[in-house]
Amino acid sequence: MPDEDVFNPCAARRTLLLGASAMGIAVLAGCGGDSDATPGAGGSPGVSSAPAAPATTGGNPFDDSGSGGGAAPQVPANALVAAGEVPVGGGVIVKDTVLVLQPAKGSFKAYDAVCPHEGAIVDPPFDGNPIIMCPRHNSKFKVADGSRVDGPAPRGLKSVKVGVKSGYVVRA
């Protein structure tokens, strides 16, 4: 016959553990919920509206400043885009006006992104495609020099002189 007034250490310990467990779950639940809020994330691939910071760990292979890392690099005033944001064998549209390309690793080119036919913004090429397409009427231009290959555009894309400074593709 059980005596309910007798202290049972096992039952007391079980009650204590259950209480601690419930508090632990409450604390863990309070830590979640922000995992998708990544600063600076978002946007469309191939489109860059503002220069983003280049990678700062391990040095940037395009950094010609000779600083060797350490302090965060200053964004040059004439920066178009961080060099690391331009895919090798592809390109990005910057500020809806400039197509910045990296046909080979470390080699950058840029053209006016506005099609000379009726002013549509051309599509950046990808995966090493040597042709830049205009999505409106399918004019085609060479990545190598911006010249017109096909379509209604009356001429090729205007070249924009660029260089690399402090990890950014800049207007030269």
Interface residue list for ligand FES (CB under 6 A): 115, 117-118, 120, 134, 136-137, 139, 151-153
- Taking the complex as a whole, how short is the minimal distance between the CB of residue 35 and ligand FES, in angstroms? 41
Q: For residues 64 and 150, which CB has a smaller minimum distance to ligand FES in the complex?
A: 150
CA angle 119, 124, 128 (to 5 degrees): 145
- Taking the complex as a whole, how short is the minimal distance between the CB of residue 131 and ligand FES, in angstroms? 13
- State the CB neighbour count (10 A cutoff) for residue 102: 22
Q: Residues 93, 125: contact at Cβ < 8 Å?
A: no
Beta strands in the chain (DSSP E): 47-48, 79-82, 90-94, 98-104, 107-112, 131-133, 140-142, 148-150, 162-165, 168-171
Residue whose tokens read 């890392």: 69
Q: For residues 51 and 125, which CB has a smaller minimum distance to ligand FES in the complex?
A: 125
- Taking the complex as a whole, how short is the minimal distance between the CB of residue 116 and ligand FES, in angstroms? 8
- State the CB neighbour count (10 A cutoff) for residue 168: 27
Q: For residues 83 and 153, which CB has a smaller minimum distance to ligand FES in the complex?
A: 153
Q: For residue 23, what are the contacts with CB-CB under 8 A and spacing of at least 6?
A: none
Residue whose tokens read 């220069």: 51
- Taking the complex as a whole, how short is the minimal distance between the CB of residue 55 and ligand FES, in angstroms? 34
- Taking the complex as a whole, how short is the minimal distance between the CB of residue 151 and ligand FES, in angstroms? 5
Q: For residues 59 and 151, which CB has a smaller minimum distance to ligand FES in the complex?
A: 151
Q: For residues 83 and 101, which CB has a smaller minimum distance to ligand FES in the complex?
A: 101
